[in-house]
Structure 1
Amino acid sequence: MQLSVPTLLLAELFVLILVGALMLVAWRGGRREPTLGYLGAVQLIGALATLIISLRAFELVTPAVVLGNTLMMLSYGLLWTGMRRFAGREASVLGICAGAGLWLLACLWPGFMASLPLRVKFYSLLAVIYCLLAASELWRSQRALEVTLWPSLGLLLFNACFYFVRLLFDPGLPSEASTGIEATFFAVLVFETLLVSVGMAFTTLTMVRDRAELKLRVAALSDPLTGIGNRRAFMEQGERLLRLCAEREEPVALLVCDLDNFKRLNDSFGHPAGDRALLEFSRITASRMRRQDVFGRIGGEEFACLLAEAGTEAACQVAERIRREFAELPFIGEGVLSVSIGVVTSEHGGYRLAHLLALADQALYRAKAKGRNRIELSAPGPESEGRV
């Protein structure tokens, strides 16, 4: 079956305009994710370039070769930059325009304009370079992005391979009189461009959507002031940690911390001072946590720490370091900052988080009643008395 080149060109033009417009609408209507804007521009500039290149059929070869392919190179530069912006790096104007500029410079050489095979090879080389650069931006950032990148990477590498094959084996784009394998290859070229353009648009939309959903999930589980986990995150992660430790029969300790006289601090020095106290406490406590521990802000000035593989002695050591370092901060005035901490371990409270929290709260209330700025254990005994 022979593919109709004019029909494919018309379909490519229509699809590129439609997809480009939809990408720009998504960009303007959403969170203005720059990647969508760049990909929308890629599609629309590609459509314009396709229209200009089709002028070859009317023997307007010079505008088609010079302007049409310059715009195509510009669209490749925007594609690379779109992937670069998605990976969190800044756009490079030089990188966007480099391919287009090199094509224009090459067109100033009469021998280049006279040689169709040379133009094909140079165009293919630039396309391969841009596709590999775009793929490398995603590959280098795959861990940080935390979204599915393989569809986009696959399309970019497929396009790079296609143009590498063209670089090696395609003698040049056929004229209207060309028949046989050359005309078939040109039809395949148009079809491949159409598939990759549409595929990149949809895979990019998927990546942007997945990252937006991830950000929403993170925001739903993060305290907006301190950046640590909120109560919901602490409960979910804490339950998982407790289940794991119960299966392994490992001890767990829970610390519930409450900043002393926090309302007085806000009333006396203003809410910025209160916010700073919360941030400083979060910083100090987070620095004492290990990767397997769970730390979160579970109330206004109340925090909780779940320490894996920690018994009474280890828990009290961590709590004492937190209490002392927070009290010694060079804040507004000496003695302004202090924290009371209630401690309970799984040896006494088991592995149910709600029960541990209740016991730690009781110990915390005792610490408050005994004068604040101290640590209290849930089950004081001969070797676990309340500590200042």
Structure 2
Amino acid sequence: MPTFDLRTVLLMASVMPGLMALVMFSIGRTFPRTILGVAQWAQGSLLFSAAAFVMALRDAIPDWLSVVVGNVCIVGSIGLWLIGTQRYLGRVPCVRLIAALALVDAVSLSWMTWADLNPHGRSLCTNVILLLLFALLAYELLRYGDADSGARVVGSLFAFETLIASARVITLLQPVATNEGLYAHDRMQMIYLSSGAFMSLSITVGFMLTAVNRLRFHLEQLSRIDPLTGLLNRRALLSAHTMARETPRKSRRYLSLLLIDLDHFKRINDTYGHSMGDDVLVDFARRAVLALPPEAELARWGGEEFAVLFTCDTVDEPVRLARALQARIASMGSSSLPSYTCSIGVACLGAADASIEQLLKQADGALYRAKDNGRNRVEVALEVVDVTVSPMVEKAMKI
């Protein structure tokens, strides 16, 4: 097996994580507060870089610095990665466990350096602690980061490092284990240090890519969500229509669109102020979500207009749903808000004709009739295509 200069390997391991830490510190400051853990990842990478540099100077600097401080800092850096990972995943960080492990490592290394010299025991102690931390990181990322591709990749890297650390611990437990120090040129030591250097770079890059991926998802969500009500915006509803149209084609179901307008909303703004008008919009969004089935897509279409898109088996369903929603809004809501009502236009088409333009044209026409006929009512589009008009729909058209 070819040999490497292990001191050079450690020096390489000290450079790249440090550079990535600086990148994470710089970019992380621009991240929204909802993306947690990046600071701890950067701190851990910087600490790892410093620890690897100190350990690379073994035999050139005092043992208390290269052995005790270096190894404890390695444990601390992995602990910071674990804290950052748990914060990123929305988990409670196990700070006390990490602090306890670092303390155990510091006390054990100090004892086996000055009171009872035992290099083999020092190596075993630190590697057992690192094995535990690697396993915890792999578990957290693979167990709770299943919806995050970046987290799964980094979790796989930690799972691999767990296997390497396990092999190292097993080797150290063997009675024939060598005791030639950090730069021993035995096979296991070379694999362990070389893989550690490679993994330190791969993991820090993985952390950075994971955070950037979360930022991209966050920005995509912002582009799809109305900031006031928290509902989908127009762009998101148009995207939902494209996906929903494929579903009814396969099962020959219908696609329905409800256009909803809050009655006399300008009067609310003029009488109570725009702040109260915003509160009314938020209240409508909250109450409408409770009145609609989970599969319905509710969006703020613009101003005081809202839209609901959903698939259905019969043309009666959107009429029943629209009436239930209209009645719920007309009932007394929050005592701190003025009472308000809504008008709803209903369109329902077979899949072949359910273009967004056709649905909007029909629902908009029905909504205008609802306003012309006195508001606070439901009207169904007269141009219903490819459906059998039921008595309920006929009744809704006449009321």
When normalised by structure 1's length, the TM-score is 0.89
Answering whether residue 371 of structure 2 is matched by residue 368 of structure 1, we say yes
Alpha-carbon displacement from aligned partner over 1:162-190 (angstroms, at most 9, x marks no partner) = 111111103366338x7652xx5433332
Q: Relative to 1, partners in 2 of residues 1:365 and 1:108: Cα closer, same or farther, differing over 3 Å?
A: same
Which secondary structure state, in structure 1, belongs to the residue aligned with residue 230 of structure 2? Answer: coil
More moved, 38-47 vs 326-335 = 326-335
SS in 1 for 2:58: helix
**Long gaps (5+) in structure 2:** 384-388
Of the structure 1 ranges 22-31 and 308-317, higher mean CA displacement relative to structure 2 is found in 22-31
In the alignment, which of 47, 50, 54 is matched to residue 48 of structure 1? 50
Q: Deviations over 1:96-138 (max 9, x none)?
A: 4222111123245459852222222221111111112122222
- Give the Å deviation of 1:377: 1.3
Counterpart residue number, 1:175? 181
Which of 291, 295, 299 is equivalent to 2:298? 295
Match of 1:197 in 2: 200
2:330 & 2:238 partners in 1: Cα distance?
28
Is 1:6 equivalent to 2:7 in the alignment? yes
1:358 aligns with 2:358: no
Relative to structure 1, is the Cα distance of residues 53 and 322 closer, same or farther in structure 2, using a 3 angstrom cutoff? same
1:340: Cα distance to partner?
0.4
Shift of 1:320: 1.2
Q: Is contact 2:112-2:119 (8 Å) kept?
A: no
Q: Deviations over 1:11-69 (max 9, x none)?
A: 22233332332332232355475433222222221222223334431373343322211
Q: Is 1:25 aligned with 2:36?
A: no
1:279 to 273, 278, 282: 282
Q: Is 2:387 the partner of 1:384? A: no
Is the Cα contact below 8 Å between 1:16 and 1:43 reproduced in 2?
yes
Aligned pair partner of 1:316 in 308, 315, 319: 319
Match of 1:15 in 2: 16
- Separation in 2, partners of 1:70, 1:239: 55
Q: Say if 1:30 and 1:173 are closer, same or farther in 2 by CA, change over 3 A.
A: farther
* Alignment partners' CA distance in 2, 1:261 and 1:155: 59
Change (3 A) 1:172 1:273: farther
Pick closer, same or farther for the CA change 1:273–1:40 going to 2, 3 Å: same
Contact 1:238 1:294 in 2 (8 A): no
CA contact (8 A) 1:229 1:297 kept: yes
Deviation at 1:142, TM superposition (A): 2.3
Contact 2:10 2:55 in 1 (8 A): no
* CA deviation vs aligned residue, 1:69-95 (integer Å, no higher than 9, x gap): 111111111011121121123545424
Name the CA distance, whole Å, in 2 between partners of 1:255 and 1:174: 77
For 1:210 and 1:331, the matched residues in 2 are separated by 40
CA distance in 2, matches of 1:12, 1:334: 62
Partner SS for 2:302: coil
Q: Alignment identity in percent?
A: 25
Instruction: Judge conservation of contact 1:26–1:36 (CA < 8 Å) in 2.
Output: no
Q: Aligned partners of 2:140, 2:148: CA distance in 1, in Å?
A: 14
1:277/1:168 Cα in 2 relative to 1: closer, same or farther (>3 Å)? Answer: same
Residue 330 of structure 1: CA displacement?
A: 3.1
Report the CA distance shift for 1:240/1:270 in structure 2 as closer, same or farther (over 3 A). Answer: same
Shift of 1:359: 0.9
Aligned to 1:244: 247
Q: Does 1:58 align with 2:64?
A: no
Read off the aligned partner of 1:82 and give its amino acid letter.
Answer: G
Q: Are positions 1:336 and 2:342 aligned together?
A: no
Amino acid paired to 1:104? A
Residues 3, 154 of structure 1: alpha-carbon distance in 2 compared, 3 angstrom cutoff: same
Change (3 A) 1:71 1:63: same
User: How many residues in Structure 1 have an aligned counterpart in Structure 2?
Assistant: 384
Task: Report the CA distance between 1:285 and its aligned residue.
Answer: 2.1
CA distance, structure 2, for counterparts of residue 348 and residue 166 of structure 1: 62
Gaps of 5+ in 1: none
Query: Which residue pairs with 1:104 in the alignment?
Result: 106
CA distance in 2, matches of 1:333, 1:20: 50
1:158 partnered with 2:160 = yes
CA distance 1:125–1:357, shift in 2 (3 Å): same
**Once superposed, which parts of structure 1, at least 4 consecutive aligned residues long, lie more than 6 Å away?**
none
